[in-house]
Structure 1
C-alpha cells in the first residue's frame, strides 16, 4: 500500500513538474483572470493526469501500442490549439491595453470556471505522452504479482493528488503575478511574454515529433 502511494506521488509530480506550454498557459490565465478560474483550470489538468494514470494502471500495456500510432497527429493538434490560445491571449491583451481597460476584465466575461476546467482538461488529454509515461512507470515497477484493485486505486489517487497540488501551486503563482502587475502596461507585457513562450514551447512539440 505504501509502495503504491509513493509510486503514485512520484509519478504525479514527475509528469506535472516539468514546465511546458500547458503550465505556462495556466499561470498566464490565472494572472489575467482570478484565482478561482485558475484553480478550476489547474484541476482540469490534474484530472487529465489522473485519468491517464487510471488508464495506464488498468491496461497500459494494451493501449500503449495504439497510443503510439496516433502520437504525431495528437501532438500536432495539441500544439496548434496552444498556439491559437497564445495568439488569442496576446490579441486580447493588446485590445485591452489600447482601450485602457484591464485585460482581466476582458478575459473574465466570457470565461467561466467550468469552461476553464473543461478547456484545460481537453488540452491535457490531447497529450499522448502522458499515458505512455504512466504506462512505462506501471510496467517498469510491476512485479510478478499483479497489483490489487486497492493498490491501483491508491496509485491513481496519489498521482491525481500530486498533480493537483502542483497545478494549484502554479495557479497561485499566477494569481500573485496578476496582483503585482495591476497596471494595463504590466498586464500587456506579461500577456505578450507568456504568449511568446507558449508559442515557442508548442513549436518545440512539433520539432520533437518523429
Structure 2
C-alpha cells in the first residue's frame, strides 16, 4: 500500500513538473517583458517579477486541480475579453518601454539605472502576477491535464498538493532563469545605444505577440 502511495506521489510530482515547464517554457510576450524589465532594473526586481508569473501559474494549477471539469464552461464565456485585456496591457507596456528608452537616450541618461522610474519588488511581483492571470489559456491548459489524469480515479489531496507545488516550482525555476538572462543582458548592454536598441527590440516583439493574440481572438 505504501509503495502504491509513493508511486502515486511520484507520478503527481512528475506530472506537475512537466505541466509547469510546458506552460512556462514557450517564450511569449510576458517572458519577453520579464527579460527586458530585469535588464533595465536589477536581478532582484526580475526575481520578484518571475515569482509573480510563477504564482499565477501555481494558482491556475490549483484552480484546475480543485475545479476539474467545472472550469471550462466557466472560463469559456470570458476568454475573449480576457485576451483583449491581456493584449492591450502588453501593448501599453511595450509603448511605455519604448517611450522611456527614447527619452533616456535623448537625455543621455541610460548609463545609470537610478534615473529610471523606480520599480519596487512588490510592484514588479504584482504587475507580472496580474498580467499572467489575464491569460485564460493557462487555466484551460492545466484543466485539460488534470482531467486527463483523472480518467481512472479521482486524486486525493496529497496528490493534488504535490501536482500544484511541482507546477509552481517548475514555472518559478524557468522564470528565474529568464530573469537571470535579463540581468546578464543588462550588464552587457550598458551603453546608451545598446539599451535603446534592446528596449526597442523588446517593445517590438511584445507588440507583435500582443497583436497576434488579438488576431487569434477575432
Give the alignment's TM-score, normalised by structure 1: 0.97
Larger radius of gyration: 2
**Among 96, 113, 116, the residue aligned to 1:104:** 113
Q: Calculate the aligned-residue CA RMSD, in Å.
A: 1.0
Secondary structure, counterpart of 1:19 in structure 2: coil
Give the aligned partner of residue 203 of structure 1: 211
Aligned mates of 2:118, 2:177 — CA distance in 1: 24
Q: CA deviation at 1:21?
A: 0.3
Task: Report deviation, 1:110.
Answer: 2.7
Q: 3-state SS of the aligned residue for 2:113?
A: helix
Segments of 4+ in structure 1 off by > 4 A? Answer: none
Quote the residue 1:31 is aligned against. Answer: 39
60, 73, 91: which one pairs with 1:83? 91
1:14 corresponds in structure 2 to 22
Cα distance in 2 for residues equivalent to 1:99 and 1:28: 20
The Cα offsets for residues 116-154 of structure 1, whole Å up to 9 and x where unpaired, read as 000000000000000000000000121332101000000
Q: Distance in 2 between matches of 1:104 and 1:131?
A: 36
Q: Distance in 1 between matches of 2:190 and 2:104?
A: 13
Q: Give the superposition deviation at 1:61.
A: 1.2
User: Aligned pair 1:163/2:171, yes or no?
Assistant: yes
> Counterparts in 2 of 1:30-179, with a 5 A limit?
30-102=38-110, 104-107=113-116, 109-179=117-187
Secondary structure in 2 matching 1:105: coil
Instruction: Normalising by structure 2, report the TM-score.
Output: 0.94
Q: Distance in 1 between matches of 2:20 and 2:80?
A: 24
Give the CA deviation at 1:40.
0.3
Give the Cα separation in 2 of the matches to 1:105 and 1:201.
Answer: 30
Q: Which runs of 5+ in 2 are unaligned?
A: 1-8
Aligned length: 209
